């Protein structure tokens, strides 16, 4: 007796038809809109939302259609979502920035020249060039901005590591009820606006702020300390803002450490300091690397904190890009600055990742 055929739910059997009807509706709607065959009142107000909805749902439907036609496993659809996000919000903007960085500034809209144009005789004239990159590499302002950004980001990352490691270690070693409360306290600042949190530090650090008033009332100082518009304020703001990004990866690594290894080191006569250096610290390196990257990468391009807490001498590349884009309206130079900064950040990270993968394969 032959085995009965596999039961196919009605919804699953009807899904291909529903999918194709939805794709046809999307295509028909935008065709009608593009040809202005049927004016729809108020559509311009929600045009951006409609485009986003079409890209997300239409992309999923097309991917599902291709998957079924090519008999591919549907698991790749899970990977397709972040890949599409990466394509739309990283690769395409990166290509646009690269295209603008090869042009020249003009007083027009958009404020840059095309990469090529047709001559009167029909010949193709290439206008693209690398003059913006040569200008950046030859100008001391941009070199100093890059070096200052790297220095401030590196020092802030080190400070965040020194502050965040003991906190993450304490949370990981705490009993479960207390651990949940401590983790909640770590992520609690994310519930408020980043800008408001930075503004709050102005009230603490200014001449008549909370810190100076407390120190003066206790008689520790005789005159207010100058903390605002200094590098100290910038370091403090960056460490405060990005400390959770250091603590959480460290906690995720430390909480999985095997207590038996620490007990074995103690039984062999190792002191707590030696046990930490030889056992805990090496095993927590993945968390240290992940947390350091999560702090260093956004800190190197930080604009809000240096603008609010730093002084005029606080030179960071995010501030330079803002001035080039919005004050000087020199989009090609600003795009070149962004491309160079991205290369300076991404290349070392890719090298570090490759070294780490090699070590994991060898280990």
Tell me if 117 is assigned to some domain. Answer: no
> Which of 86, 101, 116 is the endpoint of a domain?
101
The pLDDT value given to residue 159: 97
Tell me if 124 is assigned to some domain. Answer: no
Nearest Cα to 206, choosing from 224, 228, 223? 228
Give the whole-angstrom CA distance, residue 230 versus residue 311.
6
Tell me if 286 is assigned to some domain. Answer: yes
* Same-domain pairing of 87 and 144: no
Residue tagged 């039984």 (tokens): 267
- The arithmetic mean of pLDDT across residues 82-110, rounded, is 83
Q: How confident is the model at residue 12 (pLDDT cuts 50, 70, 90)?
A: low
Tell me if 106 is assigned to some domain. Answer: no
Tell me if 184 is assigned to some domain. Answer: yes
Residue 34 has pLDDT above 80, yes or no: no
Tell me if 118 is assigned to some domain. Answer: no
Residues 267-280 pLDDT 10s = 888 888 898 889 89
Residues 56-70 pLDDT 10s = 777 777 777 777 766
- The arithmetic mean of pLDDT across residues 32-55, rounded, is 70
* Same-domain pairing of 249 and 333: yes
Looking at 2-6, 97-101, 175-179, 250-254, which range is the least confident one?
2-6
> Which of 101, 118, 150 is the endpoint of a domain?
101
* Same-domain pairing of 177 and 322: yes
Provide the percentage of residues in the chain whose pLDDT is more than 90.
Answer: 30
Give the whole-angstrom CA distance, residue 175 versus residue 196.
33
Tell me if 1 is assigned to some domain. Answer: no
* Same-domain pairing of 309 and 188: yes
Q: How confident is the model at residue 3 (pLDDT cuts 50, 70, 90)?
A: very low
* Same-domain pairing of 135 and 261: yes
Helix (H) or strand (E) holding 78: helix 76-86
Q: How confident is the model at residue 72 (pLDDT cuts 50, 70, 90)?
A: low
Residues 202-236 pLDDT 10s = 999 998 889 999 999 998 988 899 999 899 999 99
Provide the percentage of residues in the chain whose pLDDT is more than 70.
Answer: 89
Give the whole-angstrom CA distance, residue 32 versus residue 43.
12
Cα 112 to chain centroid, rounded? 27
> Which of 80, 101, 122 is the endpoint of a domain?
101
Mention every residue, 6+ apart, whose C-beta is less than 8 A from residue 28: none
- The arithmetic mean of pLDDT across residues 250-261, rounded, is 90
* Same-domain pairing of 139 and 91: no
Q: How confident is the model at residue 2 (pLDDT cuts 50, 70, 90)?
A: very low
Tell me if 150 is assigned to some domain. Answer: yes
The pLDDT value given to residue 17: 81
- The arithmetic mean of pLDDT across residues 350-356, rounded, is 76
Mean residue pLDDT of the chain comes to: 84
Tell me, letter by letter, the H, E, C secondary structure of 195-236: HHHHHHHHHHHCCCCHHHHHHHHCCCCCCCCCCCCCHHHHHH
Structure tokens at 73: 């496993």
* CATH number, residue 317: 1.10.3720.10
Counted domains in the chain: 2
Residues 294-336 pLDDT 10s = 999 999 989 999 999 988 888 888 888 888 888 888 899 999 9
* Same-domain pairing of 90 and 136: no
- The arithmetic mean of pLDDT across residues 233-246, rounded, is 95
* Same-domain pairing of 227 and 159: yes
The pLDDT value given to residue 156: 96
The pLDDT value given to residue 164: 96
Provide φ and ψ at 125, rounded to 5°.
Answer: -100, 120
Residues 337-346 pLDDT 10s = 989 988 888 8
- The arithmetic mean of pLDDT across residues 134-152, rounded, is 90
* Same-domain pairing of 160 and 228: yes
Q: How confident is the model at residue 252 (pLDDT cuts 50, 70, 90)?
A: very high
Residue 77 has pLDDT above 80, yes or no: no
DSSP string computed for 5-24: PPP--HHHHHHHHHHHHHHH
Boundaries of domain holding 59: 10-101
Residue 130 has pLDDT above 70, yes or no: yes
* Same-domain pairing of 260 and 211: yes
- The arithmetic mean of pLDDT across residues 116-129, rounded, is 78
Q: How confident is the model at residue 352 (pLDDT cuts 50, 70, 90)?
A: confident
Q: How confident is the model at residue 74 (pLDDT cuts 50, 70, 90)?
A: low
* Same-domain pairing of 175 and 32: no
- The arithmetic mean of pLDDT across residues 72-96, rounded, is 76
The pLDDT value given to residue 181: 93
Helices and strands in the chain, H and E counts: 17, 2
Nearest Cα to 238, choosing from 156, 300, 149? 156
* Same-domain pairing of 309 and 210: yes
């Amino acid at each position: 007796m032959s085995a009965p055929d596999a039961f196919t739910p009605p919804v699953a059997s009807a899904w291909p038809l529903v999918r194709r009807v939805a794709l046809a509706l999307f295509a028909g709607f935008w065709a009608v809109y593009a040809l202005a065959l049927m004016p729809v009142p108020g559509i311009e107000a929600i045009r951006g939302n409609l485009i986003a909805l079409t890209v997300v749902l239409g992309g999923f439907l097309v991917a599902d259609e291709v998957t079924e036609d090519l008999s591919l496993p549907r698991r790749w659809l899970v990977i397709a979502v972040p890949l599409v996000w990466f394509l739309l919000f990283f690769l395409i903007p990166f290509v646009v920035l690269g295209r603008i960085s090869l042009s020249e500034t003009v007083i027009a809209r958009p404020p840059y020249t095309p990469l090529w144009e047709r001559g009167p005789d029909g010949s193709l004239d290439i206008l693209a060039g690398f003059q913006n990159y040569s200008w950046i590499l030859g100008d001391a302002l941009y070199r100093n901005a890059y070096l200052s950004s790297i220095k401030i980001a590196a020092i802030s990352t080190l400070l965040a590591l020194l502050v965040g490691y003991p906190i993450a270690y304490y949370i990981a070693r705490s009993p479960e009820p207390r651990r949940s409360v401590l983790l909640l306290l770590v992520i609690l600042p994310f519930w408020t606006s980043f800008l408001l949190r930075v503004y709050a530090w102005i009230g603490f650090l200014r001449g008549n702020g909370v810190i100076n008033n407390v120190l003066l009332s206790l008689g520790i100082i005789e005159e207010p300390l100058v903390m605002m518009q200094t590098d100290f304020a910038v370091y403090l703001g960056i460490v405060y803002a990005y400390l959770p990004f250091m603590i959480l990866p460290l906690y995720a690594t430390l909480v999985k450490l095997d207590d038996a290894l620490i007990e074995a080191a103690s039984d062999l006569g190792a002191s707590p300091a030696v046990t930490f250096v030889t056992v805990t610290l090496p095993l927590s390196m993945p968390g240290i690397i992940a947390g350091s990257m999560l702090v260093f990468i956004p800190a190197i391009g930080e604009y809000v904190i240096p603008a609010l807490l730093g002084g005029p001498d606080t030179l960071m590349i995010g501030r330079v890009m803002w001035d080039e884009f919005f004050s000087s309206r020199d989009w090609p130079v600003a795009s070149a600055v962004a491309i160079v900064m991205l290369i300076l950040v991404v290349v070392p990270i890719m090298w570090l990742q490759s070294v780490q993968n090699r070590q994991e394969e060898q280990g």
